Amino acid sequence: MAESVIIYPKQDKLLDSSIKQKAYSFLEKLAQDDSAPGLHIEPVNNAADPRARTGRVDQQYRALLFKLTTPTSTAYVVHGIYNHDDAYEAAAKVQLTINPINGLPEYNEATPVAAGEQTWAQPVPVESLPSAPEPLIVFSAADLTVSLGIPPAVAEQAVALTNNDAMQAFAQTLPEWQGLALLLLADGESITQIQQELELMNRPMSHDEAAARFNEPQPVSDQELLDSFSQPSAQMGFAKLAGAEELRRVITGGDFSAWRVFLHPQQRKWVRGNWKGPYRISGGAGTGKTVVVLHRARRLAVEDPDAPIVVTTFTTNLAAELSRSLERLDPESQFADALGEPGLHVKGIDALARAVLQSAGAGVSPAVASVLGVGRTDISGRADTDAAWRQAVLRAGEGLDQKLRKPAFLQAEYEMVILPHRITQLAEYLKVARTGRGVRLSRAGRKAVWAVVEAYRSSAREAGTLDFAEAASIAAAHLEASGEGPARHVLVDEGQDFKPCHWQLVRALAAEGPNDIFIAEDAHQRIYGQKLMLSAYGIRTQGRSRGLKLNYRTTAQNLAWAVGVLTGQEVIDSDGEAESTAGYHSARTGPKPTVRSFPSMSAELDHAAELVGAWASDEEVQPETIAVLVRDRATRDRVVAGLGDRGVDVRALESGSVKPGQPVVLTMHRAKGTEFTRVLLFGLSKDAMPIGLKAYDFDEGELSEAQLRERSLLYVAASRARDELVVTYSGDPSSLMPAAG
């Protein structure tokens, strides 16, 4: 019994749902024993490539495969699963070859003509669209061929395109690396940048030689072909599937599981990379940052099973999702229940702080003293910070400028200045540099703030409570004092929302050393935190990593709408540099988002019921992949009730995971990190978004940060939609919506 490797193509447009299960059974048997009766693995008469084989999936369907045999292994590269006659027709045309320039494996569709007269199949023609005068790509077709390995016929068509929609449509018909290269070129990137980003090799040769080799590929051995699949960039198009479980999830799981096996070269670099200290990656929504964090965490755990590894993020819900994803990525993953134990410990950052405090027990007192000025051990309660700051203002705020008597100001001052500097005395507060704070404070102003802080702290002492930021600061101080971090590696997802105390805790969790801290973030999605500099908290990242730009989640149309929300905004990342949305791409296309207005919320609900009902009744659609996103909880509850009244059964999503069976309604904040195939953004009216930001009117800088957070929230919400995005409002539209275009 000879086991075989199955190499599977990412663009498996081949399988409809009725055949998936059969295809999986067939390939599973093939992987175990290619001589098993019933598989009928046979060479094909008149095949364009002698490696072509067909196999019997069922009475009607045949698999078209390419068999590679080396002294040590057998591999089958799947081309597709087709109706019987179509499989034989395809076999007469398709060859498995190696790209003469970049060495990537690829299929070529040769028309069966006499040797020497071979011509190459033209890509699917693009519908003619209105064109601008100038081509989008400034390089010649010959450049694209000799420098990148874009086949001559594809290159010729690409350089003639003058319109973004046409380029997008064309890119979609090509293998992922080719499509992406063209989109990036059209966006102004240089050939060298693309070679680097996609890790494309370049065998130097003249254009004539390249054209000849594309026309008539040189013979390659099975070993060379097999090796070509191991290149990082080959992983964009093909995956070697290891074992039945991986086979099953890729074939039956469809697009949603592609991330587990097909990595972008850049993603792979970040997964495999080793750095002397902290490293930070950035990238737009849906570009696969979480995927990198998951693969990297798994890789570190596999390489060093004794290492305690922390994987953390901003919310408990997201942490739970990370944990589920890690399990899906590798069911063998070793999880650690407690901090400090070997394996993967996955927790929200505030829950981590709580765990540190709990395990510290009475020993926490010195750390409390270092942060709050007085040692305490009764710290288990959590404060309602808003109410507590109001109380403190009532008790001690008489000296404070009227416009600064706001919880939003006081809490930000506390979290951005007082806690991170571990200030426990007025004298220290009077001296501290309040870097990055917009509001200017005189000496008297600082004294007045400090009086309120003291009142805040003393009430908390009496009540035995801590707020979340205090808890994280104290946990950090405790770990710092103990001198050793309980983790060897800490991986952070959604880092843009972390506050100073969170970064102090992250720093304290792992001692400085190789691969100690890895951070994924997108400053455009900052919806809770304020901008800050990581270096201020002892996290000096090693150079700025260039961001991921290819969005794997949303269609180009949805992405354009989402990015439109941020147009013209300056967004600063946690190294203090401007972060741009320029060059964000999606290789998928779909319908343009629709925006509809209604005279009343009731009419808007009627439409929502009709739309969600219609989406959910499509048999191909799993209802839980449909979501209605709203700005606040009150609207969420109204939508759930309103749709229920109209006969459409939906579920509100708060904590926990999405359960199968019903569409979900959730707030935009809750939607962070999630994705759905169809999304309705409901209630996007002028009054709903941005929400009233009076709480921030004490300072222009703070107000504009709060406004930017609202924009970012809408960007997060819109970028959750994989395929279809519908936006509705009643009355006047939100000013945050992008201009129609």
Ligand X SMILES: Nc1ncnc2c1ncn2[C@@H]1O[C@H](COP(=O)(O)OP(=O)(O)OP(=O)(O)O)[C@@H](O)[C@H]1O
Do the annotations mark residue 363 as ligand-binding? no
Residues 619-678 contacting ligand X, CB under 6 A: 673, 675
Among 290, 465, 530, 635, binds ligand X (CB under 6 A): 290
Among 8, 259, 270, 450, binds ligand X (CB under 6 A): 259
d(CA 154, CA 144): 9
Instruction: Report helix, strand or coil for 721.
Output: strand
Do the annotations mark residue 103 as ligand-binding? no
Among 80, 103, 217, 286, binds ligand X (CB under 6 A): 286
- For ligand X, give the closer residue by CB, 238 or 262: 262
Alpha carbon distances (Å) from 430 to 296, 418, 426: 44, 11, 6
d(CA 690, CA 670): 17
Is 288 among the residues that bind ligand X (CB under 6 A)? yes
Q: Tell the smallest beta-carbon distance from residue 258 to ligand X (Å).
A: 4
Considering only 14-22, 252-260, 355-363, 683-691, which stretch makes contact with ligand X by CB under 6 A?
A: 252-260
3-state secondary structure 219-240: CCCHHHHHHHCCCHHHHHCEEE
Among 213, 289, 345, 585, binds ligand X (CB under 6 A): 289
- For ligand X, give the closer residue by CB, 285 or 475: 285
Binding mask 476-515 for ligand X (x = CB under 6 A): ----------------------------------------
Note the Cα 524 to chain centre separation in Å.
Answer: 13
Is 61 among the residues that bind ligand X (CB under 6 A)? no
- For ligand X, give the closer residue by CB, 197 or 699: 197
Alpha carbon distances (Å) from 704 to 265, 599, 691: 37, 31, 13
Instruction: Report helix, strand or coil for 418.
Output: helix
Is 522 among the residues that bind ligand X (CB under 6 A)? yes
Residues 673-702 contacting ligand X, CB under 6 A: 673, 675
Is 285 among the residues that bind ligand X (CB under 6 A)? yes
Is 263 among the residues that bind ligand X (CB under 6 A)? yes
Q: Tell the smallest beta-carbon distance from residue 613 to ligand X (Å).
A: 26
Cis amide prior to 690 (ω within 30 degrees) = yes
- DSSP strand pairing (42-43 vs 52-56): antiparallel
Amino acid identity of 37? Answer: P
Query: Please, are residues 671 and 725 in contact by the beta-carbon 8 Å criterion?
Result: no
For the chain, what's the residue count? 741
Q: Tell the smallest beta-carbon distance from residue 162 to ligand X (Å).
A: 30
DSSP 155-217: HHHHHH---HHHHHHHHHTS-HHHHHHHHHHHTT--HHHHHHHTT-------HHHHHHHHHSP
Q: Which residues pair with 504 in a beta bridge?
A: none
Do the annotations mark residue 677 as ligand-binding? no
d(CA 96, CA 217): 10
d(CA 736, CA 741): 15
Work out the angle at residue 295's Cα, subtended by the Cα atoms of residues 294 and 297, and round it to the nearest 5 degrees: 65
Among 225, 291, 506, 627, binds ligand X (CB under 6 A): 291
Q: Tell the smallest beta-carbon distance from residue 457 to ligand X (Å).
A: 36
Q: Tell the smallest beta-carbon distance from residue 271 to ligand X (Å).
A: 11
Do the annotations mark residue 288 as ligand-binding? yes
Q: Tell me which H or E stretch contains 329.
A: helix 316-329
- For ligand X, give the closer residue by CB, 312 or 719: 719
Considering only 40-48, 282-290, 334-342, 582-590, which stretch makes contact with ligand X by CB under 6 A?
A: 282-290
Binding mask 212-251 for ligand X (x = CB under 6 A): ----------------------------------------
Q: Tell the smallest beta-carbon distance from residue 521 to ligand X (Å).
A: 9
DSSP 362: G
Binding mask 535-564 for ligand X (x = CB under 6 A): -----------------xx-----------
Q: Total residues contacting ligand X (rule CB under 6 A)?
A: 22
> What phi-psi label fits residue 14: left (phi over 0), alpha (psi between -120 and 50 degrees) or beta?
alpha
Considering only 36-44, 283-291, 428-436, 457-465, which stretch makes contact with ligand X by CB under 6 A?
A: 283-291
- For ligand X, give the closer residue by CB, 496 or 685: 496
d(CA 7, CA 4): 10
Nearest to 671 by CA among 662, 658, 688, 660: 658
Among 258, 477, 639, 648, binds ligand X (CB under 6 A): 258
Query: Please, are residues 487 and 515 in contact by the beta-carbon 8 Å criterion?
Result: no
Q: Which residues pair with 346 in a beta bridge?
A: 311
- For ligand X, give the closer residue by CB, 470 or 675: 675
Is 719 among the residues that bind ligand X (CB under 6 A)? yes
Q: Tell the smallest beta-carbon distance from residue 96 to ligand X (Å).
A: 22
Do the annotations mark residue 145 as ligand-binding? no
Query: Please, are residues 358 and 349 in contact by the beta-carbon 8 Å criterion?
Result: no
Is 287 among the residues that bind ligand X (CB under 6 A)? yes
Name the site residues for ligand X (rule: CB under 6 A): 256, 258-259, 262-264, 267, 283, 285-291, 522, 525, 552-553, 673, 675, 719
Question: Which residues are annotated binding-site positions?
Answer: 283-290
